[in-house]
A and B are shown apart, each in its own frame.
Chain A
Amino acid sequence: MAEVYENKLTRSQIEELAIHCENAELEAYEITKITDDFPNMTYKDAFDIQWEIRRRKEERGHKIVGMKMGLTSWAKMAQMGVEQPCYGFLADYFSVPEGGEIKHDELIHPKIEAELAFVLKDELKGPGVHIGDVLRATDFVMPAVEVIDSRYKDFKFDLKSVIADNSSSTRFVTGGRMADIADVDLKNIGVVMEINGEVVQTGAGAAVLGHPAASVAMLANMMAERGESLPAGSFIMIGAITAAVQVNKGDAFTVRYQGLGTLSGKFV
């Protein structure tokens, strides 16, 4: 994909679009997808916008605490009309403590997804990273719930627009029980999502690209396209095991993980 290496936007356009997308996130308002105005933009442009948002946050003193994969299920890709997964970064203020409260007013139209997180003990550097490399480099896995909140009106976007919007990242909760990778059947691990006590989604690890570790491998390989790697200690959320479920103010959620305990939180 030559588009990965080519820019069609100028540096100043990329910077303007980064401000445009980040302001929508910070002030919680909807925007129309940026490819409407810049139909020629490339994947390189889209990732440049995301990395510029990341740079802006770091410049303001925020720490990047992890990475996330998005659109990792075939169902989700079909639902969103995109052809491949994407990644985003997690900033320090995205983190919500287990059992904590998430302020709905700070978000536009949040949805939650049940995921797993990998924490690395060794660096993963693509290209050519495969599931075996991921398992070898993984320190432990733990439950994670991601709150996504596309800044695009009605969650309607294409792949380039969503990449520029930091892959809809906004908040995450992690906790439950950590586990050695050898003790978890990652493909078959079941998750049950409940909102206000009602089961709303169930799924198993294989919903993520066939195997959760495949998602981490893909992330390492996509990062390598920019000369980046996943250093030891990286916290990586693999993408949704269940469909994303819309949440309203007042909703409490609990996600139960087979053998890994539960995670909960509340929207206030």
Chain B
Amino acid sequence: MDKQLIQACGDELYQAMIDRTPVRPLTERFSDITIDDAYHISLRMLERRIEAGERVIGKKIGLTSKAVQNMLKVGQPDFGYLTDSMAFSQGEEMPISERLMQPKAEGEIAFILKKDLMGPGITNADVLAATDCVIPCFEVVDSRVENWDIKIQDTVADNASCGLFVLGDRAVDPRKVDLATCGMVVEKNGSIISTGAGAAALGSPVNCVTWLANTLGQFGIPLKAGEVILSGSLVPLEPVKAGDFMSVSIGGIGSASVRFI
């Protein structure tokens, strides 16, 4: 894809997000789109957000489960950017009618870094040493593509289908919790709908952050001290609508909840 087309696609996805009007998949219209093109489109979309006054506060890792990777026929995760406007506080209401189109909630573990991580060559030990704390999190993913009809390039271009997120209010030292075995329980409107454990994301949430640091390192981009890194869902995605109440608890870490209006 040439620069002009990449810019046009990024602008289109940005506008789709602002207008809350999904578009047809890019892969349907541009059959030769590569994953690299898609990341450049995602960067254009981010550029528009920054122009509108948003600030990058972290990153998210997506496609971390085997099931989702198989569905999209990819052998790797992807990533997107988190901005301050996506962050919601514990207990706050998330307005679907203003901000989202076809939201789905996923329970995750968020990492808050205290040191920069610059790949390549980052190991799990580096990630743990650079992690200030881990926090329970709901990521609410959303797709700017009609009916979530996505291939890997579509979701990468669309900022890894990131929507909004909520962090819980308990931060735990990573030394205090076994991130691979910690259990997760997700409840929707008071019913338990799914359970999982840390290993559901690439064997460990730490693996996910390591992957991200090394992947971004190839482009000379560090993970920065203070950034929030959403490490990937540990349970199947759950579609949500106005009126739904979701809560997640993670063994040894804590809980987070969100109400949709």
B159-192 near A? 1/0 per residue, CB < 8 Å: 0000000000000000000101111110000001
| In the bound complex, CA of A202 to CA of B184 (Å) | 9
Cβ B181 vs Cβ A257 within 8 A: yes
The size bracket of the interface on B is 20 to 34
Residues of B within 8 A of A202 (CB): 195-200, 234
Tell me the total A-B contact number using a CB cutoff of 8 A. Answer: 78
Residues of B within 8 A of A187 (CB): 185, 249
Residues of B within 8 A of A199 (CB): 66, 199-200, 203
Does B134 have its Cβ within 8 Å of any Cβ on chain A? no
Cβ B252 vs Cβ A203 within 8 A: no
**Looking across the interface, which residue of chain A has its beta carbon closest to that of B185?**
A206
Q: A187-B249, A190-B182 are in contact. Are A256 and B195 (CB under 8 A)?
A: no
6 further interface pairs, Cβ-Cβ under 8 Å (given A188-B182, A188-B252, A190-B181): A185-B251, A192-B198, A202-B200, A204-B196, A206-B185, A206-B192
| In the bound complex, CA of A35 to CA of B200 (Å) | 39
Choice from A185, A207, A257, A259 contacting B195 with Cβ under 8 Å: A207
| In the bound complex, CA of A185 to CA of B200 (Å) | 20
Does B250 have its Cβ within 8 Å of any Cβ on chain A? yes
Q: A202-B197, A210-B192 are in contact. Are A258 and B178 (CB under 8 A)?
A: yes
Cβ A205 vs Cβ B183 within 8 A: yes
| In the bound complex, CA of A189 to CA of B250 (Å) | 8
**Looking across the interface, which residue of chain A has its beta carbon closest to that of B193?**
A74
**Looking across the interface, which residue of chain B has its beta carbon closest to that of A74?**
B192
Cβ B252 vs Cβ A206 within 8 A: no
| In the bound complex, CA of A207 to CA of B178 (Å) | 20
Chain A interface main SS type: mixed
Most B Cβ at <10 Å: residue of A188, A189, A206: A188
The size bracket of the interface on A is 20 to 34
Does A144 have its Cβ within 8 Å of any Cβ on chain B? no
A180-208 near B? 1/0 per residue, CB < 8 Å: 00000101111110000001001111110
Q: Residues of B with Cβ closer than 8 Å to A?
A: 66, 178, 180-185, 192, 195-200, 203, 234, 249-252
Cβ A190 vs Cβ B184 within 8 A: yes
Choice from B66, B180, B250 contacting A188 with Cβ under 8 Å: B250
Residues of B within 8 A of A117 (CB): none
Does A241 have its Cβ within 8 Å of any Cβ on chain B? yes
Residues of A within 8 A of B66 (CB): 199
| In the bound complex, CA of A153 to CA of B212 (Å) | 46
Cβ A191 vs Cβ B203 within 8 A: no
Choice from B183, B192, B200, B249 contacting A258 with Cβ under 8 Å: B183
Most B Cβ at <10 Å: residue of A191, A205, A206, A256: A206
Choice from B192, B198, B203 contacting A190 with Cβ under 8 Å: B198
Cβ A258 vs Cβ B251 within 8 A: yes
Q: A188-B251, A190-B184, A258-B183 are in contact. Are A203 and B192 (CB under 8 A)?
A: no
Cβ A259 vs Cβ B178 within 8 A: yes
Interchain Cβ contacts under 8 Å between A and B, 9 examples: A187-B185, A188-B183, A190-B184, A190-B196, A205-B183, A206-B185, A207-B192, A256-B180, A259-B181
How many whole Å from A188's CB to the nearest CB in chain B? Answer: 3
Cβ A206 vs Cβ B181 within 8 A: no
| In the bound complex, CA of A136 to CA of B185 (Å) | 24
How many whole Å from B86's CB to the nearest CB in chain A? Answer: 26
Residues of B within 8 A of A241 (CB): 195
Choice from A190, A207, A210, A256 contacting B251 with Cβ under 8 Å: A190
Q: A187-B249, A190-B251, A259-B178 are in contact. Are A204 and B199 (CB under 8 A)?
A: no
**Looking across the interface, which residue of chain B has its beta carbon closest to that of A191?**
B197
Residues of A within 8 A of B195 (CB): 202-207, 241
Residues of A within 8 A of B249 (CB): 187-188
Choice from A74, A185, A210, A256 contacting B181 with Cβ under 8 Å: A256
